Amino acid sequence: MTGLLFGGARTIELDGDIVQVTERSRTSTISLADVVAVPAVRRTLLGATLSIATGSEESIILRGANRRDALAFSNHVEKAWVEYNISALEREADRFSSLRAAVTALARPTRYPAACAIQVILDEARSFDDAVLSKLRMEAIGSEAASLVAEVRTFVAEPRRIRNTAIETFVIAELERWKDFFDTIESKPLTHEQRLSVVVDEDATLVLAGAGSGKTSVITAKAAYLAKAGIRSPEEILLLAFAKNAAEEMSERVQARSGVALAARTFHALAYDIIGLVEGSKPALARHAADDALFIDTIKQILKDLVRSDPDVAKAIIKWFAQFFVEPKTEWDFKTKHDFYTHIEKLDLRTLQGEKVKSYEELQIANWLYENGIEYEYEPVYEHKVASAGRRDYCPDFSLVESGIYIEHFGVRRQTMPDGSERLTTAPFVDREQYLAGIDWKRETHSAYETTLIETYSYERQEGRLLSSLADKLAPHVTAKPRPPAEIFDRVVEMKQVDNFSQLLGTFLRKYKGGAYSVADCETKAKKLNLGRRAAAFLSVFEPVFEEYEKRLEGRIDFEDMILRAARYAETGRFHSPFRHILVDEFQDISQSRGKLVKALKAQHQDARVFAVGDDWQSIFRFAGSDIHLMRHFGDEFGGSFDGESGLHRTVDLGRTFRSIDQIAFAARAFVLKNPAQIEKQIVPAGKATEPAIKFVEVTANEGEKKLGELLASISEMSSTSERTSVLLLGRYRFLEPDLPDLQKRFPLLRLSFKTIHASKGLEADHVVLLKADGGRTGFPSETVDDPLLSLVSPEIEAFENAEERRVMYVAMTRARRTLTILASKSRPSSFVTELRKDLAAEREKSGTATHVVHECGECGGRLVDVTGEDGRRWYRCEHVRHCGNFLPACPACEVALPRREDGSPEVSCKCGAKYPTCPECRDGWLRERSGRYGRFLSCVRFPACAGKSKGRATSPTTTE
**What is the reported pLDDT for 262?**
87
Three-class secondary structure of residue 40 per DSSP: strand
Helix (H) or strand (E) run with residue 114 in it: none
Is the Cα dihedral 579, 585, 588, 591 positive or negative? Answer: negative
Helix/strand/coil for 950: strand
Q: What is the gyration radius of the CA atoms in the chain, in angstroms?
A: 39
Instruction: Report pLDDT for 801.
Output: 85
Query: Taking 60 as the threshold, does the pLDDT of residue 955 lie above it?
Result: no
Instruction: Express each pLDDT in 662-686 by its tens digit.
Output: 899 999 999 999 999 999 888 888 8
Would you state the pLDDT for residue 960? Answer: 44
Number of Cα atoms under 13 Å in the Cβ half of residue 546: 18
Question: 225 and 198 in contact (C-beta within 8 Å)?
Answer: yes
Cα–chain center distance at 359: 29
Mean pLDDT lowest among 344-348, 433-437, 862-866: 344-348
Distant-in-sequence, close-in-space partners of 281: CB < 8 Å, separation ≥ 6: none
Percent of the chain with pLDDT over 70: 96
pLDDT per position as a tens digit, 39-51: 888 888 778 888 8
Euclidean distance between CA atoms 849 and 913, whole angstroms: 22
For the chain, give the percent of residues with pLDDT over 90: 61
pLDDT for residue 292 = 87
- Read off the pLDDT of residues 362-405 as tens digits, 9 standing for 90 and up: 999 999 999 999 999 999 999 998 866 456 789 999 999 999 99
Output the known binding site for ATP. Answer: 209-216
Q: What is the mean pLDDT of residues 251-267?
A: 87
Q: What is the pLDDT of residue 5?
A: 46
pLDDT of 113 > 70? The answer is yes
How does strand 765-770 pair with strand 725-731? parallel
Give the distance from CA 103 to its chain's centroid: 42
User: Residues at the annotated binding site?
Assistant: 209-216
Question: Measuring CA to CA, how many Å separate 812 from each of 658, 725, 778, 828?
Answer: 16, 18, 17, 20
DSSP state letters, 159-226:
HHHHHHHHHHHHHHHHHHHTHHHHHHSSSSPPPHHHHHHHH---SEEEEE--TTS-HHHHHHHHHHHH
Residue 212: pLDDT above 90?
no
Find the mean pLDDT for residues 328-350: 87
Q: Fill in the DSSP letter of residue 91.
A: H
* 376-378 and 398-400 strand pairing: antiparallel
Q: How far apart are CA 378 and CA 361, in angstroms?
A: 13
Q: Contact, 338 vs 857, CB < 8 A?
A: yes
Mean pLDDT of the chain: 90
User: pTM of this prediction?
Assistant: 0.82
> Which tens digits make up the pLDDT trace of 752-792?
999 999 999 889 999 999 999 998 777 899 877 778 899 99
Asked whether 441 and 396 are in contact (CB, 8 A), the reply is no
Nearest C-alpha neighbor of 740 from the set 717, 718, 771, 695: 771
Bridge-based pairing state of the strands 907-909 and 422-425 = unpaired
Q: 6 falls in which pLDDT band (50, 70, 90)? A: very low
Q: Give the best-scoring range by mean pLDDT among 640-649, 690-699, 894-903.
A: 640-649
Residues sharing a CB contact under 8 Å with residue 737, sequence separation 6 or more, in sequence order = 729, 731, 754
Q: Which residue has the higher pLDDT, 317 or 951?
A: 317
Which band of pLDDT confidence, cut at 50, 70 and 90, is reported for residue 903?
Answer: confident
| CA-based nearest residue to 623, from 785, 489, 822 | 785
Beta bridge mates, 4: 63
Which residue type is seen at 633? H
pLDDT, position 18: 85
Q: Is the peptide bond preceding residue 944 cis, with omega within 30 degrees of 0?
A: yes
- The span from the CA of 62 to the CA of 41, in Å, is 10
pLDDT at position 535 is 95
What are 177-201's pLDDT values in tens digits? 999 999 999 889 999 999 999 999 9
Q: For the segment 451-483, what is each residue's pLDDT rounded down to a tens digit?
A: 999 999 999 999 999 999 999 999 999 999 999
Alpha helix positions (H), 790-830: 803-813
Smallest Cα–Cα separation from 585: which of 157, 251, 923? 251
For every residue of 5-22, DSSP letters joined together read -SSS-SEEEEETTEEEEE
Please state, in angstroms and rounded to a whole number, the distance separating the CA atoms of residues 905 and 911.
15
pLDDT tens for 76-85 read: 888 888 888 8
Comparing C-alpha atoms, which of 411, 408, 412 is closest to residue 453? 408
Classify residue 320 by its DSSP letter: I
Q: In 504-543, which positions are buried (b, 16+ CB within 10 angstroms) versus exposed (e)?
A: bbbbbbbbbbbbebeeeebeebbeeeebeebbebbbbbbe
pLDDT at residue number 76? 86
163 within 8 A of 154, measured Cβ to Cβ: no
3-class SS string, 344-384: HHHHCCECCCCCECCCHHHHHHHHHHHHCCCCEEECCCCCC
- 370 versus 343: the higher-pLDDT residue is 370
DSSP state letters, 764-782? -EEEEEE---B-STTSSS-
Q: What distance in Å separates the CA atoms of residue 943 and residue 930, rounded to the nearest whole number?
A: 11
Q: With both helix axes pointing from N to C terminus, report the angle between 215-228 and 192-199 in degrees, rounded to the nearest 10.
A: 40
Q: How many residues does the chain have?
A: 961
Helix (H, G, I), strand (E, B) or coil at 521: helix
d(Cα 491, Cα 483) in Å, to the nearest integer?
Answer: 11
User: Predicted confidence band at 256 (pLDDT cuts at 50, 70, 90)?
Assistant: confident
Q: What is the pLDDT of residue 883?
A: 87
The amino acid at residue 287 is: R
List, for residues 814-833, the tens digit of each pLDDT value: 999 999 999 999 888 898 99
Strands lying side by side in the sheet with 398-400: 376-378, 398-400, 406-410, 453-457
Q: What is the DSSP string of 550-576?
A: HHHHTT-B-HHHHHHHHHHHHHTTSS-
Q: What pLDDT is recorded for position 748?
A: 92
515 closest CA partner among 326, 267, 790, 269: 790
Q: What is the pLDDT of residue 289?
A: 87
The reported pLDDT for the residue numbered 49 is 84
Confidence of residue 961 (pLDDT cuts 50, 70, 90): very low
* pLDDT tens sequence across 117-143: 999 999 999 999 998 888 888 888 888
Q: Which helix (H) or strand (E) holds 336?
A: none
Residue pLDDT, tens place only, 287-337 = 998 888 999 999 999 999 999 999 999 999 999 999 888 878 888 899 999
Is residue 696 within 8 Å of 773, Cβ to Cβ?
A: no
